[in-house]
Amino acid sequence: GHTVYGWDTNKSLIAVLRDRASVLNPEPEINRLLIDNAKNLSFMSLTEVAGCEIIFVAVPTLHPPEMDGSQLYSGPPQDFDYKPLETALKSLRDGLSGRTRRCSIGIMSTVSPGTTRKFADLFDGLDVDLFYTPSLISLGSVYQDFLNPPFSLIGTSDVGAIMGDQSLPVWVLSNFYKS
């Protein structure tokens, strides 16, 4: 076990979860887990989240509806919608200002190659390591997919991390996944 905290910009959702109300969720196990583990759910302010050693960011990064994969798309290539991710990362950056300890932020959302590098500039001047660590899940089986991932992926452009410098946060993240 790890101590896990939640933070969301959607204050209504947090209020529902704090009141232990059932959330309408199409995932078969989610409502049961929320009820069974209500005493273990903790929600924090952004300032408190910013004090954590590892922060995972999981927000939607959707394609336009015509690119959902249900039919052949023959139009021009388009990237994901990164506005929710950018908003979350900017909020984190603002919450991290003044922090003195190193922090690892793992982007779990689906992104194209190079996106993490683009967003790393948001954290210039802060002791933050930004990584890509996608959650390999499918809607309808999120719970089972989290419990049984085919593998864990950690992407970084930090050469020290790639070469095995175990003092770097990529190793903190790796050790987190192993436990």
Mind listing the pLDDT tens digit for each residue in 19-48?
765 566 667 677 777 777 777 777 888 878
Least confident range from 87-91, 123-127, 137-141: namely: 137-141
The mean pLDDT value of the chain amounts to 79
User: How far apart, in whole angstroms, are the C-alpha atoms of residue 49 and residue 89?
Assistant: 12
Does 90 have pLDDT greater than 90? yes
Q: From 132, 127, 43, 45, select the one nearest 93 (Cα to Cα).
A: 127
Place of tokens 């927000």: 59
CA distances from 14 to 9, 80, 116, 159 (A): 9, 26, 27, 38
